[in-house]
Structure 1
């Protein structure tokens, strides 16, 4: 058993409170089931998903220094369930911690801008952690396995890590070239990991606003590879990947000229299902690609 209850400053991000509202639902439901306390950072702002720095690196650093400072005020790690947010905020945190030693004038400039807006200064006293690694490194796979009440036996899951989680910042929890964290989570809840070419590649979302066809071809190739490898579903730790792979899957099908119909799950949805939480509570009926075949296989239909 865990020696003490885990507690995090919860950064929900934009997409989980908008187009992927089911991610917020499933994250909070999973936290309750695991007795993890989430203190939501309601004053936090969008991380910018990497676009702020196209105009100004100082803008990206200052906005996210403020987000980190909100977690520092609580003396808690900042927890995100979005690999894009993890990549952006985590990278800012690493850069600013390095600047505290190598370029203190830059830190003073960032904090001066924060002070001008009545915000707390960045201190570099906490860490930014994705839900996946909080579960694997802090909570522990054995603890998760002990809490499983609906073992996902026979379910074949294909991980889709996305770009940022593996590449955008230092990662001491997994191998960026041969990651296993998600596959180990699948094993802990009784599911079978499926390995395929696209699991560590880009979903195509960053291209979608200006090269839509190419974006959808990328997504289609990944989904096809997962299907051909025997997957019942793709599981992703990134809501932007989820949007391109699930919400846009009907459009992807038109571009590649092939029917796909592969359910795409958020990581906390999969784990929470194994803990006995109802599909309705996890928002599984909200997906564009129906999750009904997957739930039928598990005998856990939405009521």
Structure 2
């Protein structure tokens, strides 16, 4: 399918460069192994994770128009591995593309702020796409299947899509209520998909700063549901979901008064394991909930 390297402007986002550094590491390792070239947008700013618009829609649009314009300078699609960034950037891109014909003066206003900062104007000429959909649509499941050196046949994987990836944009890469993209990736690397109630719902992260108990109760409900369905691990395409489901799982356990202990993997970590990439390179030792049960099941522990 691919005769040459495919290339993207890479927007890693904030969380992958801090609290979930393992996502940054595993994305780099996976894309290098697959021959996907990423040109990191080092001048990009935080997308705001949906909070900027609470103060000003213009602020959210301007900040993210600049992020998108950085990719447009390279004439490349913008790739992110964060569902929240995908939802925010993708939605801004769609809104401004529509405004180019319905409210051109608004786009001009946005670009006037970019011009003051000596930034390239937003043109609306590129696509914002998540790593998951790059792998499924652009790279292809057959090619991933061909690259597998360590089949994950013993692993039962439960996808946790979260909100933004499925319903943050008008553009749909998958069914927003009955998605299959992640499950199809699981099958391609030999793992068994686990279906459970809650895989397309909110992880609770947006509530965590002001309704902590409710947030952790939501996360606990999803983890318990996945465990009851026989999951060996959750796999998520969103580092913010990962924070609520993995990093805060010990706190979740205290709120729901129940032991959980379910490992939560980032999507590129799971695929990386199937490609034979070493667990240390994928950052699997950085998780709060130990990934050792997964590694032992794969004969790596």
TM category (shorter chain) comes to over 0.9
How far apart are the structure 2 equivalents of 1:259 and 1:195? 21
Please list every run of 5 or more consecutive structure 2 residues that lacks an aligned counterpart in the other structure.
Answer: none
> Is the 2:166–2:172 Cα contact (8 Å) retained in structure 1?
no
Residues 13-61 of structure 1: CA deviation (Å, up to 9, x unaligned) = 0000000000000000000000000000000000000000000000000
> Is the 2:144–2:189 Cα contact (8 Å) retained in structure 1?
yes
How far apart are the structure 2 equivalents of 1:123 and 1:223? 42
How far apart are the structure 1 equivalents of 2:206 and 2:149? 38
How far apart are the structure 1 equivalents of 2:171 and 2:5? 24
Q: How much has 1:300 moved relative to structure 2?
A: 1.7
SS in 2 for 1:76: coil
User: For 1:68-87, what aligned pairs fall within 5 Å after superposition?
Assistant: 68-87=68-87
How far apart are the structure 2 equivalents of 1:86 and 1:172? 12
TM-score (norm: length of structure 2): 0.99
User: For 1:275-286, what aligned pairs fall within 5 Å after superposition?
Assistant: 275-286=275-286
In angstroms, what is the RMSD of aligned CA positions?
Answer: 0.6
Structure-1 residue corresponding to 2:229 = 229
How far apart are the structure 2 equivalents of 1:197 and 1:248? 21
How far apart are the structure 1 equivalents of 2:235 and 2:157? 7
How far apart are the structure 1 equivalents of 2:172 and 2:223? 29
User: For 1:152-301, what aligned pairs fall within 5 Å after superposition?
Assistant: 152-301=152-301
How far apart are the structure 1 equivalents of 2:113 and 2:42? 21
Residues 155-175 of structure 1: CA deviation (Å, up to 9, x unaligned) = 000000000000110233211
How far apart are the structure 1 equivalents of 2:66 and 2:97? 14
SS in 2 for 1:140: helix
Structure-2 residue corresponding to 1:140 = 140
**Aligned positions, number:** 301
In the alignment, structure 1 residue 106 sits paired with structure 2 residue 106: yes
How far apart are the structure 2 equivalents of 1:290 and 1:296? 11
Q: How much has 1:243 moved relative to structure 2?
A: 0.1
TM-score (norm: length of structure 1): 0.99
